[in-house]
Copies of this chain bind each other. A is one copy, B any other.
Amino acid sequence: MNHDLEHTIALLERTPGALDELLRGLPDEWTDRNEGGDSWSPREIVAHLSHAERTDWLPRVRHLLEFGESQPFPPFDRLAQRRQMQGKGISELLVEFAALRAASLDQLRELGLGPSEMERRGMHPALGSVTLGQLLATWATHDLTHLHQIARVMAHQYRDLVGPWSKYLGVLQCNGHSS
């Protein structure tokens, strides 16, 4: 399967709405609890998606197009949302993410990227040489990683309440690899 930009955009444009339908108006017991310790709540995950939207995805696309492999992407701070989410409820964070994503996709479309650009290369500071197609596919898959994580974090809140059914519920066997 080759990377198809329209398939990637189709997913990217649906994630904010899906998260909004899932999370808006839910009791805090679902949105603000985590998996213990320093793990992330759904509220923090939404804030992380916004932070990635601001500093990671489209900025890296532009960086790759401008510098190629000559200059690595600036590193991404995976914990910056801890500051940015302070005092913000889930509703506000969902609105923020939707606006940021819509703006990113507008800018992405304006770049008018075609199949030949998908092979252009940039330099990841840890992973080395990567293509633009890989970067765009990773953007979409990053959404899915965090949707997967949100489902797991929420299910964790019901771990004890399901009693003997826990062994039939696959999400409760997930070992946290996506945090």
Distance, CA A132 to CA B36, complexed state (A):
27
Do A7 and B30 touch across chains, with their CB atoms under 8 A apart? Answer: yes
- Chain B nearest CB, measured from A31 CB (Å): 10
Segment of A64-72, A83-91, A107-115, A164-172 in the binding face: A164-172
- Tell me the dominant secondary structure on chain A's binding face: helix
Do A137 and B161 touch across chains, with their CB atoms under 8 A apart? Answer: yes
Asked if A38 lies at the interface with its beta carbon under 8 angstroms from chain B, I say: no
Asked if A79 lies at the interface with its beta carbon under 8 angstroms from chain B, I say: no
Chain A, 136-174, contact with B by CB distance < 8 Å: what is the 0/1 string?
Answer: 011011101101110110110110111111001111111
Cross-chain pairs A/B with CB under 8 angstroms, 27 sampled:
A3-B161, A4-B27, A4-B29, A10-B26, A11-B30, A14-B23, A130-B164, A130-B165, A134-B161, A134-B164, A135-B165, A137-B158, A137-B162, A138-B162, A140-B158, A141-B155, A141-B171, A144-B151, A144-B152, A145-B155, A145-B170, A148-B151, A148-B155, A148-B171, A170-B177, A170-B178, A170-B179
What is A's interface to B at a CB cutoff of 8 Å?
Answer: 1-4, 6-7, 10-11, 14-15, 17-23, 25-27, 29-30, 124, 127-128, 130-131, 133-135, 137-138, 140-142, 144-145, 147-149, 151-152, 154-155, 157-158, 160-165, 168-174, 177-179
